[in-house]
Structures are given as C-alpha cells and as structure tokens.
Amino acid sequence: MNQYKPMLAQSIEHSFDDPVWIYEIKWDGIRALAYVGDTLSVKSRNDKELLNNFPELNELSTLTSNVVLDGEIIVFKEGHPDFQEVARRNQLSNPLEINEARIKNPATYIVFDILEKQEASLIDEPLEKRLKILNNSVKQGKYVVISNPIREHGIQYYEIAVKRDLEGIIAKKLSSTYQPGTRSYDWLKIKRVKSCDCVIFGYTIGEGAREDTFGALLLGLYDEGKPVYVGRVGTGLTDSDLKELKKSLDKLKIEEKWFDEPDIPIKSIWVKPELVIEVGYQEVTKDNRLRAPRLLGFRNDKPPELCSIIQIKPQKLEEYYTKRDFTISPEPTGGYTKGEGNSFVIQEHRSRLTHWDFRLERDGVLVSWAVPKGVPMVNTEKHLAIQTEDHPLEYAGFEGTIPVGQYGAGKVEIWDKGFYSPVKWLDDKIEVVLAGKRLKGRYELILINKEKNEWLFFKKLE
C-alpha cells in the first residue's frame, strides 16, 4: 500500500448553495488515515499509530479489506463530540487506562473518503466516483460509520450544524481529485466563529522575534466580580500591535499576582485590568480555557467589569430549537453573539394575543417571560409574567414577523432595551435594577405557581 498525507481544506467565512458541491459535518476530533490490508494501521496527521490508544478501531479489519481510508476519530459524550476526551485518550499510555476509556467513552471512526482499493490508487478519480466506491467497499460497524453528506444545500446545512452546536461544515467539489498534503480550494471548511471580550491581566515574557515586546497576553473574565483565568493569546497581533500594546501594558504594571494557575509561566508580568480585547476561539474546555484563541480586535468602548464569564458558558436552548423551523421562521438560530453579560430587552409581540416579552441575559441565554398586560410602569401595578423557554442572545436584536403556522406567529418589535444590575437571583425570586430607555429602577419577579411557571412582576419602591 502507498502511504498518503491527508488532503486539507481552505477556510472561508460563509456557506453557499451549489449543485456540484457536497456538504458534511466538520467533526472535532483526530484526523486519521486507515490502512486496511494484511495488517491494520490507523495513522494521525503526524504519522502516529493510533490503534494503541483506540483499540476498538480494530473493528475495521472485519468491515473491509485492501483499502486506504480517510476519516476522523471522535468521541461522543452526551450525544455531542467531545474534543477534550478524544485528545485525552490520545495521550494515554497505560493499557489499563486505555481499556477503561474504551469501555467508558468509546471512539467512533467517521469515514469520508477512500484513497486506494486492491492496491490501485484512487486519488486521481473525482470525489463523486470515490464516494460510490467507498460505499460499496466498507460496511458500517459499532465503531465505524460512513459519512452521509448532502448535495447543493450548504446554507441550510450550515445553519443546522450551528443550531446543534457543532464546529461547522466541510464543502467538497464533486469533481475534485484527492490532493495529498495540499490545502486545496476544492475542499472548504466553514467554521462557526465564537468570540468573547476578555480582559488583559498580564503577559508572558517574549522570546526570539518578540524579545522586545511580549509572548502572549494572559486573559481573564469576571465571575460575579471575581477574575477567572481563561487562557492566553499570542496570535492575531501584527508587529505594530505588539509594539503599541506593549507601551500601554508597561504603564499598567503591578506587583500583584492575579492568578496561580500552573500553566502560567513564573516570570509573567501582571497589569491593572483596564484593557479589553475581542478574542475568537473554537470552544471552551471544562476548566474554562479558550481553545485555539486568536485576537480579533480591541474593545476600547467596553468597560472591563462587563466582561463576564457567562459569555463562554454553554447555551441551553433545546426547547427553543424544538419549537421552531428555521427554514421558515426569520428568528435567529443563535451561537454567534458573545453578549454583554447583563443586558435586557422587552419586545412587543403581536401574536394571537398581544403580549410583551421580558428577557434578561444570564448564563449565555435570554431568560424570558411573557407579560400579557405589559410591563408595570408604577409600583402600584402587579402583573402576571409567564416564564417561557430561554432564547439565544441574538434575540435581543430581533424584529420581524414570524409567519402564520409557526410557533409565536405575529409581529415582534423592540419596546425597550438596555442593561440591568442583579440584586438577587434565586429560584423563586429575582430582583434587578433596570437601566433602559423607557424603564429605569428596581423591579422584582416572584414565583407564585411553579407548575404553571407563573410569576408576579412589579416595580419596587425606591
């Protein structure tokens, strides 16, 4: 068998529809080429043998023969790809730990291409033909799955991937050959760009070309007023950025050490938390680290204290998604906005029964109530508020008409919006101070019927 390097995809920002292209999920795992012959070998991009760490993939020998396959090794946890777990498994060396991981969190090899069959190379054949050969040559098993791409409808497919909180999609031209080791425009990756606004708490000492500036910025977010370390970023900075930012950081140096995390270099420099930057990232690890961070820009307009950790907490929007058909409804699918941390919005909703939707940003979503009689304007008014499903942060800017036949059909307009300060947030009592264009002052929500999600909404005496 010939040895191959994986074909790579170029990045683009937006998906597209085209009948001569196919689209499949971009899985967040370990790229792997499988050589199935007299012996079996599964190799990573850096030529590491992966069978030792993922022994369940020995199943390949029972599903096909004399082929070279391309695919991705992933680990599902709670129905969702977990990169941290597949990366952890790739680092294990103890056979007992490997076996325990195999039983507890088995891997899946998703096959999406075939490069060789019966010692005949297929890389010069068009993708469309290779996929037919693949489906006729490989059976699916317990740990081996063949990718099932769709044709033409890339925009809708991308929206579905985003809604399901997946990394993005890959677009492939059906006429494309397999180009080993090449990053080709015949394959395109369209990834969801996540971002958040982070505070600079310090920086690492620069080396080499960065000896006169710095290595990476130490980033943090606030969790109820307490700074939390979320990682460091050193990419996305031009030479000019490095020099100008170093001048600003030098004026903010302090002796106080903000974080004691073991992955922070000992000789790091600490600064007053006054500078805010926008950081793009792929995902958030379980210990609140930004994976693959990149500086996107500077936020001189945003106070550091508004950089809350809830920007990066996972959204809880399952009910919201199940009630809507986004191919028909213009409502936002979510997943793009990092949020402000403490915004609110009130929308007048002229549905079957006109009401006002009151939404408070919290933990990466808009916690929402429907208020049939409108928001109380004076402290003598006490109105019923019915808690509904959480909404994505993008809904705070939504105005439009939800079509007839869809959930909540009718016209939606923003009635007021602004920021709030939380005074108390309990399971049965929420107290906030609103600072909007129309509403200002202290408001309270008290749960009065848990089974019916009914709350009493009123303005408090100052």
Where does the chain hold its CATH 3.30.470.30 domain(s)?
Answer: 8-191
pLDDT (tens digit per residue) in 8-38: 998 887 899 999 999 999 998 899 999 999 9
Q: What is the mean pLDDT of residues 141-164?
A: 92
pLDDT (tens digit per residue) in 290-308: 988 989 888 887 889 888 8
Mean pLDDT taken over the chain: 91
Residue 433: pLDDT band (50, 70, 90) is very high
* Statement: 8-191 belongs to CATH 3.40.50.10190: no
Give the pair of three-digit tokens for residue 168: 């993005």
CA distance to 56, 75, 378, 407, per residue, from 100 (Å)? 12, 14, 62, 46
| Global confidence as pTM | 0.54
Where does the chain hold its CATH 2.40.50.140 domain(s)?
Answer: 194-311
pLDDT (tens digit per residue) in 90-130: 989 999 999 999 999 999 999 999 999 999 999 999 999 99
Superfamily of domain 194-311 in CATH is Nucleic acid-binding proteins (2.40.50.140)
Give the pair of three-digit tokens for residue 52: 């030792």
Q: What is the mean pLDDT of residues 395-399?
A: 92
Q: What is the pLDDT of residue 249?
A: 96
Determine whether 277 is exposed, middle or buried from the number of CB atoms within 10 Å of its CB (0-12, 13-18, 19+): buried
Q: What is the pLDDT of residue 335?
A: 57
Give the whole-number percent of the chain exceeding pLDDT 90: 69
Alpha carbons 122 and 119: distance in angstroms, whole number: 9
